[in-house]
Amino acid sequence: MTEICAPMQAQLVQCLVEPGDAVRQGQVLLVLEAMKMEHEVRADADARVLACLASEGELVSPGQPLLRLDMSDVSGGRQPQARSVTGPGTGPRADLRRLQARWALTDDAARPEAMARRHAAGMRSARENIADLCDDGSFIEYGALAVAAQSRRRSEEDLMANTPADGMVSGIGSVEASRWGPQASRTVVMAYDATVLAGTQGARNHQKTDRLLGIALAQQLPVVLFAEGGGGRPGDTDVPIVAGLHVPTFAAMARLSGQVPLVGIAAGRCFAGNAALLGCCDVIIATRGSNIGLGGPAMVEGGGLGVFRPEDIGPSPVQSANGVIDVLVPDEAAAVAVARQYLGYFRGRLPHAQVPDVMRLRELVPENRVRSYDSRQIMEGLVDVGSLLMLRGGFGAGIHTALARLDGRPVGLLANNPEHLGGAIDAPAADKAARFLQLCDAHGLPVISLVDTPGFMVGPESEVQAHVRHASRLFVVSAALRVPVFSVVLRKGYGLGAMGMSAGGFHATSFTVAWPSAEFGAMGLEGAVRLGYRKELEALPEGVQRETRFAELLREQVEKGSAERMAACLEIDAVIDPAHTRDWLIRGLQGCPESADLASHRFIDAW
């Protein structure tokens, strides 16, 4: 014989057995209530009930006997009435069925007409883009059950059906975990849904954005933002605000600059608040059909500035040429592919690299010292095959900027463009290069600079563009760099421009080497001859005699400024075979800390 005692102070609310009942091990015998919670008391073994020692409704104390059982006689006896249970094979319980129905409303399949219009326009849904970016099954969504804050003017059914996730799909997923591992691949992803209230920024999707941006900062996770739609939403009635200018979203996004990689993707129409968040990103990837502007047609018209179609405001050709767009792609699928590639440069090294044919480097700079060439071919010929990602290619044509890998290690590359102004650095090129250096410094990517410039652009038209300030950005930014800079002079290394391309001076770099084709001078040699020998040349008759003497003097200056003489005077560190350049750079990088140790975490200029 044994007794079942009260495990706690409680009220006996239900006794499920009577004297004479046969019970089985694990069977519920009693139900107690304490602190508004019900607790089941179960049988420890098979037994027969001999007596009930407490009454329903009675307050019982810990250790108080409640039932007396006979463990020795378990045969026969009445079976207590079975309790109804929901178990395997009986189907989901009611609360789970309600949840499943609610989640179904967040899926694209719940809005076939909206999806059909989206696909007819040649575009994908927010969820389709996220599914393409993130590894299968890795995305966990935050705030999926949110709806627009408009319950005072719309029914609950309407809001659930037509404002899923309040127009913002947000969460955390893995991007290429098979390559980088589950921890390193974690990425915050936020996608405005233009099929919900035109992608406007509602009260609740602001809250969702703020939540994810806070997690990105705390856990140091990169952010991918799919920006499409308008700005603030005036129709939200549930939140007592006037203008909403207190929301922390924009400051929170800006605070991440330099802390984590920020990738913005624009497809379709991206205006106002969406565009402001996009502009905070390190890199903007946009489709050819995109329009990006700080104000859409309604705002422009409201400001009395005219009536325009959405397609007239910030089309991609304009925004690519002016430097807003970093990478222009044909469609969203290509944008996601570039985003994956871009994120990879900030994940670390790759163990294997396909080596290019470095012997080609010997032939890429023409022997004719005044013949232009495509310096992008040299960039491709130095780095791991397939690793080069050109940035801001439509803007600042005088300097190419790119991310790439060298023997698996991520690096940044600068290169003068002899096909534009002979490689002279104008104001747009200086801005482009300075911001690129900030990007590399913030995230700890060593910089390789390929120099072929006659110097900074000069002349009255150049000075109208405030070129003094733009050019000096290269010196100011370079002086604050934590990452190493490796300078390779391909051909012309003249004046302040060559110094600006070399972290401020040839001895400010980790090394400065030159190819045999390189020539140097305090200014362009042609100009130096004309200025330095003006009287002598003007004393000669115009024509063949003067030009012959000019050619002789120029030849002397070219020889005087040769790469070998610069190396002999220790103004540069070495003259190398172009085919050996990759090896030089790899060995130089071997002495550098890893990217995480080099990162400055300074903010990156939005421009």
Q: DSSP characters for 507-538?
A: TSSSEEEE-TT-EEESS-HHHHHHHHTHHHHH
Token code pair at residue 227: 């920006």
Pair 425, 497: CB distance under 8 Å:
yes
Closest CA to 526 of 496, 492, 501: 492
Residue 85 lies in a domain: no
Q: What is the CATH number of the domain that holds 32?
A: 2.40.50.100
Closest CA to 348 of 134, 596, 601, 588: 596
Contact 390/400 with Cβ under 8 angstroms?
yes
Radius of gyration of the chain (CA): 35
Q: Does residue 79 lie within any of the structural domains?
A: no
Q: Which residues pair with 292 in a beta bridge?
A: 270
Residue 111 shares a structural domain with residue 204: yes
Q: Is residue 87 part of a domain?
A: no
Question: What single DSSP character describes residue 239?
Answer: S
Claim to verify: residue 327 and residue 380 sit in the same structural domain: no
- Name the token pair of 152: 């005072």
φ, ψ (nearest 5 deg) of residue 517: -75, -5
How many separate domains does the chain show?
4
Query: Which CATH number belongs to the domain containing residue 365 in this structure?
Result: 3.90.226.10
- End-to-end Cα, the chain, rounded Å: 84
Whether 203 and 291 map to the same domain: the answer is yes
DSSP string, 552-577: HHHHHHHHHTBHHHHHHTTSSSEE--
**Which residue bears the tokens 């500035």?**
305
Judge whether 255 lies within some domain. yes
Closest alpha carbon to 185 in 227, 128, 141, 224: 224
Nearest to 443 by CA among 486, 411, 475: 411
Domain match, 322 and 383 both: no
pLDDT along the chain (607 residues), means of 10: 93 94 93 94 93 94 94 66 51 89 94 96 96 97 94 92 95 96 95 94 93 97 96 84 85 96 97 96 97 90 88 96 97 98 95 94 94 97 98 97 97 97 96 98 98 93 93 96 97 95 97 96 76 82 84 81 92 97 97 90 93
> Token pair of 107, please?
């899926």
337 and 241 inside one domain = yes
Q: How far apart are CA 559 and CA 520, in angstroms?
A: 9
C-alpha distance from residue 321 to each of 34, 328, 397 (Å): 71, 10, 9
- Looking at residue 304, the DSSP 8-state letter turns out to be T
Question: What is the model's pLDDT at position 573?
Answer: 97
* Same domain assignment for residues 111 and 248: yes
Instruction: For residues 33 and 304, give the distance between their C-alpha atoms in angstroms, rounded to a whole number.
Output: 69
* Domain final position from 297, 312, 344: 344
Q: Count the neighbouring beta carbons within 10 Å of the beta carbon of residue 328.
A: 22
- For residue 46, give both structure tokens: 């098979």
* Dihedral (Cα; 515, 516, 520, 525), 10-degree rounding: -130
Tell me, yes or no, whether 299 and 378 share the same domain: no
Structural domain range at position 314? 96-344
- For residues 375 and 511, state if they share a domain: yes
Residue 602 lies in a domain: no
* Residues 315 and 410 placed together within one structural domain of the fold: no
- φ/ψ (deg, to 5) at 265: -120, 125
**Is residue 470 one of the residues assigned to a domain?**
yes
Short-list 209, 289, 295, CA closest to 248: 209
Residues 494 and 390 in one domain: yes
Alpha-carbon span 97 to 338, nearest angstrom: 40
Within 10 A of 220 (CB to CB), how many other CB atoms are there? Answer: 12
Encoded tokens for 571: 């103004």
| 337 and 377 inside one domain | no
Tell me the sheet residues that pair with 51. 68
d(CA 141, CA 558): 64
In a domain, 273, yes or no: yes
Give the pTM: 0.87
Write the burial class of residue 211 (CB in 10 Å: 0-12 exposed, 13-18 middle, 19+ buried): middle
What the block records as the tokens of 123 is: 């575009």
Asked if 118 and 214 sit in the same domain, the reply is yes
DSSP state of 21: B
**Phi, psi of 485, rounded to the nearest 5 degrees:** -120, 130
**350 inside domain:** no
What tokens appear for 116 in the block?
Answer: 């059909």
**Which tokens belong to 128?**
């389709």
